[in-house]
Each structure stands twice: as structure tokens, then as C-alpha cells.
Amino acid sequence: MARAVVDPGVLVSGLVSRTGPPAQIVDLWLEGAFELVVSRALLQELAGVIGRPKFAQTIPPSTAQRLVEELVESAVLVADPPPVPGATPDPKDDYLVALAVACGADVLVSGDRHLTGLSSPQPRVLTPRAFVDLLDR
């Protein structure tokens, strides 16, 4: 079974629109198709993003709260690893790379160009579409 770290932006997109690869990723995780790894920093970022007023009309607070609770209960929760400054062009994304490396993830899933544009990342970085395609094989 694949072990993945999923960028909070992908999870938010999966809640905003219930169609498309991000929504499929949320559904596939809930079905047990892959092991999702999270940390406190990832959960805090997710909660902060989905709590923004601009998402209030699209993502009901109860739906957002249920997702965070489901992640705490069912995802693999690991300790936040030490930061790896300079791992990406955007310092706010460095923790995702550190998390993926520390937990032995097979893949980091993101639509962020700072991550998808990395040359030879370990673990590999896949777009949501590429990850869904990988799981469908």
C-alpha cells in the first residue's frame, strides 16, 4: 500500500469541489486505497486554511471539522520532523518535504509548483492527477 503525504491545499481543493483528482484523493483515502501521513503542522495548516472566511460558503464548518477529526483518528499521525531549510523555493513548503522524508512516504502529493518543480525529489512529488492515476493502476 502506498504511503503518502498530501499537501493541505490538495485536501482543501477536495472539499471545495467534490469532483476532480483532489476529491478523488480524499475519497480513495477514506476507502483505504493508501496510507495518509499527517503531522500536527500539517493539521494546523489545514485547519487554518479551511477556517478562512473565503471558504465558509463553500466548505461548511461542520464538513471541515469532520475532515480534521477523521484525519486525527484515521491517518497516520507522526511527530513533526526538524525543518529542512531550503528544501524548496518556498520556505513554507519545506516542512512537507521534511515530513515526507521522515515518515518514509512513497510520494508527496501537491499541485504547488514549488514542489512539483523540484528536480529529483525524494520521495517523488506527484500532482493529484498523477497520484490518482498511480492508485488506479
Q: What is the CATH number of the domain that holds 116?
A: 3.40.50.1010
Q: Is 126 helix (H, G, I), strand (E, B) or coil?
A: strand
Number of structural domains in the chain: 1
pLDDT of residue 116: 94
- For residue 21, say if its preceding peptide bond is cis, omega within 30 degrees of 0: no
> Which residue range is the domain that position 85 belongs to?
3-136
β-bridge mates for residue 124, sequence order? 107
Write the DSSP string, 72-137. HHHSEEEPPPPP-TTSSSSGGGHHHHHHHHHTT-SEEE---HHHHT-SS-SSEEE-HHHHHHHHH-
pLDDT of residue 137: 82
d(CA 119, CA 129): 19
Q: What is the pLDDT along the chain (137 residues), one digit of tens a residue?
A: 999 999 999 999 998 888 999 999 999 999 999 999 999 999 999 988 888 888 878 888 888 888 889 899 999 999 999 988 889 999 999 999 999 999 999 999 999 999 999 988 999 999 999 999 999 88
For 49, other C-beta atoms within 10 Å of its C-beta total 17
Instruction: Give Cβ neighbours of residue 6 (< 8 Å, ≥ 6 apart).
Output: 25, 29, 36, 109, 110
pLDDT of residue 54: 86
Cell numbers at residue 116, please? 512539483
pLDDT of residue 51: 84
pLDDT of residue 18: 82
pLDDT of residue 68: 86
d(CA 66, CA 100): 24
